[in-house]
Structure 1
Amino acid sequence: MEKKVTIQVYGAEQICASCVGAPSSKDTFEWLKAALSRKYPGQPFDIQYIDIFAPGDDQKVRAFAQKVMDEDLFYPVVVIEGEPVAEGNPRLKKIYAVMEQYGYIPENAFAAHD
């Protein structure tokens, strides 16, 4: 593993209008955190949930939260190391591929992907 990556999940309490029937942003955050912990045990990463309507004081975070709203992105939006990698209902396979680009090694290479 090259370094501990930072994952941000941008979302809101209200489900995105185009994502009716999908899990909430907060549920997706919890699910993703659990899935990554199982896939890469003992390999630390930082994961944060950011409410797009209350993003806090960090200017980069505030700017991306505003972009999610301005560009009508489907949330949640998953960002790894500053790069958006998924929006709406994210696919684990794609997120795993990005994690592995950063040197994360799956617990079981034969584990089922989504």
Structure 2
Amino acid sequence: MNMTVYGAEEKCASCIHLPSARETMEWLEAAITRKYPEIEFSFTYVDIDEPGTKEDHIYYANAIKDDEYFYPLVVAEGDVIAEGNPRLKEIYERIEQWKSNREEQL
């Protein structure tokens, strides 16, 4: 499962007491891989100020800059699963849905 976390080095004004987007990704990676050791995860961090050349990275970086989403923004398999201060419970629910759908396809 591919997960991408979008953020910026500079914290947003309402995020002063929260970890940075990069720290959030590291925290999510540790928690998720510990809970789901049977799933192979790939985590990517994308700085919205330097999103690179991939279309989806540019799209989400621009959407965050246009205030369509808050960062850190967590995207898994092309679906937005969390934004702002991500909640593990909600992310786990989305992983369970993905896992269930995947098992049905097999």
TM-score (norm 1): 0.82
Flag the structure with higher helix content: 2
Gaps of 5+ in 1: 105-114
Q: Is the CA contact 1:18–1:74 (under 8 Å) kept in the aligned structure 2?
A: no
Matched pairs, number: 100
Of structures 1 and 2, the one with the larger relative CO (CA 8 A, separation 6+) is 1
Instruction: Give how far 1:57 is off.
Output: 0.7
Partners of 2:68 and 2:96 lie apart in 1 by 29
Q: C-alpha distance in 1, partners of 2:22/2:39?
A: 23
Cα shift at 1:72? 5.6
| Structure 2, gaps ≥5 residues long | 101-106
Output the TM-score relative to the length of structure 2: 0.88
Q: In the alignment, is residue 103 of structure 1 matched against residue 99 of structure 2?
A: yes
Amino acid at match of 1:37: T
| Structure 1 residue 45, shift from structure 2 partner | 1.4
Counterpart of 1:64 (choices 60, 64, 69) is 60
Pairwise CA RMSD of aligned residues?
Answer: 1.3
Instruction: Provide runs of 4+ in structure 1 moved above 2 Å.
Output: none
- Percent sequence identity is 48
What is the Cα deviation at residue 16 of structure 1?
1.3
| Structure-to-structure mapping, 1:64-83, within 5 angstroms | 64-71=60-67, 73-83=69-79
